[in-house]
Amino acid sequence: MYTRRTPRSASGSGGLHRRTRIRAKTAAGLLATAALLVSACSSGSATTSAASAAAEAALVELPQATPAALTSYYGQKPAWRGCGVPGFECATLKAPLDYARPSSGDVRLALTRKKATGPGKRLGSLLVNPGGPGGSAIGYVQAYAGIGYPAEVRARYDMVAVDPRGVARSEPVKCLDGPDMDTYTQTDSTPDDGKETDGLVAAYRTFAEGCGADSPRLLRHVSTVEAARDMDIVRAVLGDEKLNYVGASYGTFLGATYAGLFPDRAGRLVLDGAMDPSLPARRLNLEQTAGFETAFRSFAKDCARQTDCPLGGKGTSLERVGENLKAFFAKLDRRPVPTGDADGRRLTESLATTGVIAAMYDEGSWEQLREALTSAMKENDGSGLLVLSDGYYERDADGAYSNLMFANAAVNCLDLPASFDTPDEVSRALPEFEKASPVFGKGLAWAALNCAYWPVQATGEPHRIEAKGAAPIVVVGTTRDPATPYRWAKALAGQLSSARLLTYEGDGHTAYGRGSSCIDRTINAYLLRGTPPTDGKRCS
């Protein structure tokens, strides 16, 4: 499942995403990160049954008193030090690896902050998380939020980030080296026969075995619930009575989980690009597939108005644009095109699909996508789509990958049981997924198989989050969001007892800092003055 959000560098034009900001997931990438975050169901009745069970289950609030076994963690004094980024300090904290057995060992959490600059009274710390799961919150706050959030917010809050356990600087999960990841991301993720299906399954197994070999203990303890409990330790160590927080994409699930566990400690929470925790995995994946189709249709409509659209001239129907893209993918499946890559990679169907899906995250990438498609389709040059794909996977010029995809799979596969258990189950579900998205449905369905081979069993289940007694929580939804469909924002707002739903009528993934003055003013008023919007407020 793709719910990540990538920050835009501070030097870019306004917004919270950088140009190749996208981290979605795609067919092969789907491979690594795919629709994970979800629960198993192999038939329609099973899906209905799981969803019904989730409607009855709710996240249980933890006792308000800190357990004696955790007091040493809550009483830590961070040793702040410079960390090579002007204006920022860094520190390391400890949290119990296993909250059920705090004496069994620790996990180290990396933390950074930039102190409030003033003027005005300091409001405490503002913890931010860009999503993923697997996105580095430290990288996000140092590259963008800590210097690119509205000046009035940075003036009043210490900007703070902690990389969740298993992510980036906080004991990162490791799975494959660069060359093996190159092989993995190029695996055919839309198998046409038994041999190709076996190849895809083998790739999933290799990925999972690599994670299990390199991070055996940690893999059992990277759940969202544990990461949310870690945030409460961070809150206490920072000296804040309540947690103030802005979470995007998957970060909304993390923030909502915190509110459900600690409603009395939830301060001003903004959940932007919201997820619905009550859905089982297959349902989440299916609805996200439909979300990418919605985003693609917006892109197709825009493309068909341009003189340089490689998928059809002016007046081309949306259906024809989609058919032309599918035909291009099919051509790549038969014969990948050159990219000029130093490591000899060619543009495969899987890498091209990743690049296209990546560009769906922000309409600001549509021009770049048109140019990349034109080069690949008309000039036999796949370098542009490879750049988009590499940006999604966080692959650098030296062929090294960040741990984003590793952590993404680790968290998702632990949070919910797998969408599918066998290739046969995927095959039976293909018509449903291809109906949801004629362009991406097949690849996204097969991507949802990866958790079936995970080395540890899921510990989570679908559930509602109510957070009864919490202060007002702002839930933000974008009407044509590809990765977190708008209906998820409405669903989460309907579960949280104190939610205020704020709607952005537009394209792209998440809304804060993307150019809507209405959205930004509304969220700033909430963060600075504690004034939540009227429930149901809409912006464009």
Q: How far is it, in rounded angstroms, from Cα 427 to Cα 166?
A: 33
Q: Is residue 180 annotated as a catalytic residue, yes or no?
A: no
In degrees, rounded to 5, the angle at the alpha carbon of residue 61 between the alpha carbons of residues 59 and 66 is 140
Marked catalytic residue, from 17, 221, 463, 509: 509
Q: Backbone phi, then psi, for 476, in 5-degree steps?
A: -110, 130
H/E stretch holding 252: helix 250-261
For tokens 């035909």, what's the residue? 327
Burial letters for 125-157: b for 16+ Cβ neighbours within 10 Å, e otherwise? bbbbbbbbbbbbbbbbbbbbbbbbbeeebbbbb
Marked catalytic residue, from 170, 189, 223, 249: 249
Contact present, 222 and 458 (Cβ < 8 Å): no
Across the beta sheet with 106-114, the strand order is: 81-82, 89-96, 106-114, 157-162, 124-129, 243-248, 266-272, 473-480, 499-507, 537-539
Q: How far is it, in rounded angstroms, from Cα 436 to Cα 417?
A: 22
Q: Is residue 509 annotated as a catalytic residue, yes or no?
A: yes
The number of beta carbons lying within 10 Å of the beta carbon of residue 243 is 25
Contact present, 51 and 279 (Cβ < 8 Å): yes
Q: Smallest Cα–Cα separation from 210: which of 183, 173, 166?
A: 173
What HEC string does 373-413 produce? HHHHHHHCCCHHHHHHHHHHHCECCCCCECCHHHHHHHHHH
**Angle, in degrees to the nearest 10, between helices 318-334 and 281-303:** 110
Q: Is residue 481 annotated as a catalytic residue, yes or no?
A: yes
What HEC string does 38-57 produce? CCCCCCHHHHHHHHHHHHHC
What HEC string does 292-359 produce? HHHHHHHHHHHHCCCCCCCCCCCCCCHHHHHHHHHHHHHHHHHCCECCCCCCCCCECHHHHHHHHHHH
Which residues, at least 6 apart from 192, have a Cβ–Cβ distance to it below 8 Å?
Answer: 333
For tokens 């998957």, what's the residue? 250
For tokens 């990277």, what's the residue? 222
Marked catalytic residue, from 163, 240, 362, 481: 481
Contact present, 472 and 532 (Cβ < 8 Å): yes
Tell me how long the chain is: 540
Contact present, 376 and 352 (Cβ < 8 Å): yes
**Angle, in degrees to the nearest 10, between helices 404-415 and 194-214:** 100
Catalytic positions are: 249, 481, 509
